[in-house]
Structure formats: structure tokens, C-alpha cells
Amino acid sequence: MSRVTTYEKILRKEDEGIYIYIPIEIEEDVERLEISYDYTPWRPKGSAWLNDVDMILIDDKGCDVGTRGSVIRHAVISPYYSTPGFDVREITKGTWNVVVLPARMISEEIDLKVHVKTFKKERRWYAGDTHTHTHNSDGLQDYRKLIGMAKKAGFDYMFITDHNRTILHMPKSHDFLTIVPGIEYTYPNGHANAWGIQQPYSGTFITNNQEGFLKLKEESEAKGALVSINHPMCSKCGWHWPLDNFDFDVVEIWNGPMRIDNLKAIDWWHNELVKGRKLSAVGGSDYHRDYYIVKLFGKPVTHIYSEGRSQADLLKAIKEGRTSISWQMGSTFIEITSGDSVVGDTVTIKSDTKIKVNVSNLKRGHTLKVYDQEGEIYTYKAKRRENHTVEIPVKNAGFVRADVRYNLKGFKRFIFNLGMLFAMPEQAFMKEIPPMVEAICSPIWFEK
């Protein structure tokens, strides 16, 4: 939702060379701000010279945001893109000022109009990748290449999480793509992402024990970072320190292509939910490079149901458990609601309480499974590619979540085994392969 307010002012000859403040009121929950201005006359009749009016934008704290000359008279300011010369930043509530400078007045008077367009935050699903690497650690691509790939994929956001390396000079955001800085703390006993802080620790990341890691985690969180335990059940680089002797908010249950290690992580996460632990789940491609014709970037994709697309909004939504994970952009997607409540919410059970499960792009032969803390409460196998919606009464306190699973057959099974042969040989060509997950949605919680 957008709103345009126009401010008019007459500039006179005596105003030449003087900065003139035009206060503008910015409401709460504005995500993007666009400022444009025009004035007449621009070129006075019969004059070889132009009237020249510059514009400066100052925020509610009195700090410069950026400036524009009279040749280009439009600027965008937001947390995910700002016009060159303007700060990439959140828009704060309060009195801002558009400051105009009549640098050259050829005319006796100028009719100036300043147009202020504000865009409110939009609560919706935002898609992207929470786990990627650049050549600053062991990835193949630089920032710019990775950003271009994210834009091409249609992402709203991307987290860059190099191993034990705080990225220097990383762009805040680019071309309407929210870029969240991070670091993947990487140890022989486990990996963990710290998102949202350019420098989440002081000194060195090096430690040989869990106690040292927990101090780094505590420092990162104190600085405002959100910490996720990564691929805890990975056969190659899983989590080998205890998982039950410290608190954390997020776990990466789906890392890269779906495989048995991910199924183990999903089972572990589900059991934590059964215990009553409100543990948020994400997926991440853990992208380093593509392998010949196999494209791995953005697989899987994590959808975040957020108040907006700023870094702060996205991280807040993840922490609150507002996530749904799909294999890739445009593939099967699950959404669960209960009245006006969404994933991550806690609902008080009434006699008519129901959950609604919406599945888009459900593929033929794939099976939707809905669970509560007691086990499966609904199963549906698609006979064709379709969208599927079901309403289910809620009787028990606890949670309701859902996923879509499929059996590997024929050529897909051969490709899976071939991939495992190179990546994890011990998991290749097994006689029995459990159903894989195509999509999974975080729970809504219920209480009596």
C-alpha cells in the first residue's frame, strides 16, 4: 500500500544559496520511501541558464541520508535498495526533512513541488536462501555473481554465510534484494550460522571446545545476531557436541539436496516439537558451486512469513517460527493457517478450532502428510498435479505441521544414487530408500 503527499513551496530570488527545510512526517511501518521533485520554470524563457535546485534528505535524527542534483530529481530509500548516493537503511517513524537548495536562481520566483511516496510494509511470504558461500571462504563465486544469481532466481532475500569469515565491504543490499550478512562458525564438531551482524564476535573465532563456541554464540546474540545450528545430522560434517545442553532458536533441517541426513534432521526436529520445544526450522542450499549440469543454488528455498523484507523483519519472523521450506522456487509450497493465525502463532483451542492446510503445486504421486504431537492426522496422495486444500478440526494441545513426501523411482532414483555415490558413497544404492521430502511447513501451536 502506498501513499503520495505533495509539498508545495515558492522559492524567491532572495532564497538563492540558502538551505530551506521542508518537514515531512513519516508514519510507522513505512518500508520504502520515494522522493521526487520538480519546479517551474526550469529554463526561463530567453535565458541560456537554468534554475538549479538541489535536494538533500535528512532523517528524524538529523543525519544525512543522501543528496540529489537538479538533473536527476528522484530517489528511492529502503532497507533492500536505495538510489546511488543514498543510504540503504530502514525507514524510521518521525519528522524527516527534505532540504532544498536554490543554488542558482535565474527567475524571480520558482514554483517547487516535492512528492513524497511512502510504501507500507507488506506481511507476506518472502523467498530466499539462508545459507550461501562466496570465494571469501571456499565458495566459487564473488558477491556480485551470487547476487545476480539470486536476482535471476526471483529471490526476495539472500543470506551470505562464509566459513569463519566476516565479509568485508559486502553491499548492504542490491537492486531490491535484501542481503543479510552472516558467518558460519565452522568447527570439526559442528557448524552454526550467525545472521544479521557484519562482525558478530571480537578477537578470534578459534576454539577447541563447546564452551568456547557457546561464548561466541552468546556474544553474537548480545550484538543482535540470530544463531542457527546447521545440518546437525550430516554424515560428513554434523553436530557432534551435545544439542541438549544449551538453548538455540533455529535449526537447519534441510541442507542442500534432499537426502537421508536431512530426513534424520527432520525426525529429530519433530521429536523436539513433541517435547514442546518451539524450535524454528529453515532450509539452506549451503551453496559453494554448481557441479557440471547440476545446479544447487537456492535448493532448497526458505519462505519466511514476515511483516516486511528488511533484515530485522526477516530475522524476527524466522525466530518466531514463520517458515515453510520448498525444494526450489515455484515447486510445492505448504501454508498452514487457523483463522487469522499463521505458522509460529499459538492459538487457544475452542470447540470450532480448525487448521487449514493449503498446498500449491502438489505433484502427481506425492503425498501430503499432516501431523500433530500424536502422529499423522491426515494423508492425501495426489492423482495429478494440483493445488490441494483441507480443513482439519483441532482437539489436542500441542502443534500441527505438514510436509509432502514422495518415493524415488526409476530415473530419479538412479540420479539420486549416482549423486550419493560421489557425495556420500555409504548412502548410495541402498535397497530401501525412505520417502523424500518435497516441502515442509513449520507448525502452528495450540493450547487449551
The answer to whether 270 and 253 have CB atoms below 8 angstroms apart is no
pLDDT value at residue 425:
75
pLDDT tops 70 at residue 402: yes
Grid cell 548412502 — which residue? 427
Angle at 303 between CA 300 and CA 232, to 5 degrees: 50
Q: Give the residue, 441 or 295, on which the prediction is more confident.
A: 441
Show Cβ contacts of residue 385 under 8 Å, excluding neighbours closer than 6 positions. 361, 362, 363, 364
- The CATH code of the domain at 124-447 is 3.20.20.140
- Identify the weakest region by mean pLDDT among 105-109, 121-125, 172-176, 244-248: 172-176
What is the Cα–Cα distance from 328 to 326, expressed in whole angstroms?
5
Q: Does the global pTM surpass 0.75?
A: yes
| 296: pLDDT strictly greater than 90 | no
Question: What mean pLDDT is predicted for residues 112-124?
Answer: 96
Reply yes or no on whether the pLDDT at 61 is more than 90.
Answer: yes
Residue owning grid cell 500433530: 372
Q: What is the pLDDT of residue 433?
A: 83
Q: What is the pLDDT of residue 218?
A: 97
Residue 439 carries which DSSP code? E
Span 49-77, mean pLDDT? Answer: 93
pLDDT for position 32: 96
* pLDDT value for 420: 67
pLDDT band per the 50, 70, 90 thresholds, residue 434: confident
Q: What are the tens digits of pLDDT across the range 368-391?
A: 999 999 999 999 999 999 999 999
Residue 128: Cβ-neighbour burial (10 angstroms; 0-12, 13-18, 19+): buried
Q: pLDDT band for 19, please (50, 70, 90 cuts).
A: very high
Question: What's the topology of domain 2-120?
Answer: Jelly Rolls (2.60.120)
Mean pLDDT confidence for 145-159:
94
Question: What per-residue confidence (pLDDT) applies to 288?
Answer: 94
- Percent of the chain predicted with pLDDT > 90: 81
169 half-sphere exposure, CB direction, 13 A CA radius: 3
Minimal CA–CA distance to 27: which of 55, 62, 57, 3? 3
Residue 136 has pLDDT above 90, yes or no: no
Mean of the per-residue pLDDT values for the chain?
93
Question: Phi, psi (5° rounding) for residue 209?
Answer: -145, 165
pLDDT of residue 373: 94
- The pLDDT value recorded for residue 379 is 98
Q: What is the pLDDT of residue 409?
A: 82
| Rounded Cα distance, 357 and 333, in Å | 10
Which residue carries 557484519 as its cell?
Answer: 198
Quote the CA–CA distance of 196 and 247 in Å, as a whole number: 19
Q: What is the residue type of 446?
A: F
| CB proximity list for 365: less than 8 A, separation 6 or greater | 381, 382, 406, 407
pLDDT at 418 (0 to 100): 66
Report the distance separating Cα 170 and Cα 146, nearest Å. 12
Mean pLDDT of the region 429-435: 81
pLDDT over 80 (residue 414)? no
CB-count burial class (<10 Å; 0-12, 13-18, 19+) for 197: buried
Span 355-371, mean pLDDT?
98
CA dist., res. 355 & res. 173, Å (int): 37
- C-alpha cell, 105: 536562481
189-247 confidence digits (pLDDT tens): 999 999 998 889 999 999 999 999 999 999 999 999 999 999 999 999 999 999 999 99
Comparing 172 with 198, the larger pLDDT belongs to 198
The whole-number pLDDT of residue 168 equals 65
The C-alpha cell that represents 344 in the structure block: 509460529
Which string of b and e fits 429-440 if b means at least 16 CB within 10 Å? eeeebebbbbbb
- The domain locations on the chain are 2-120, 124-447
pLDDT at residue 417, as a whole number: 67
388 Cβ neighbours under 8 A, 6+ residues apart:
357, 358, 359, 362, 368, 380, 382
**In what helix (H) or strand (E) does residue 418 lie, and over which residues does it extend?**
helix 410-423
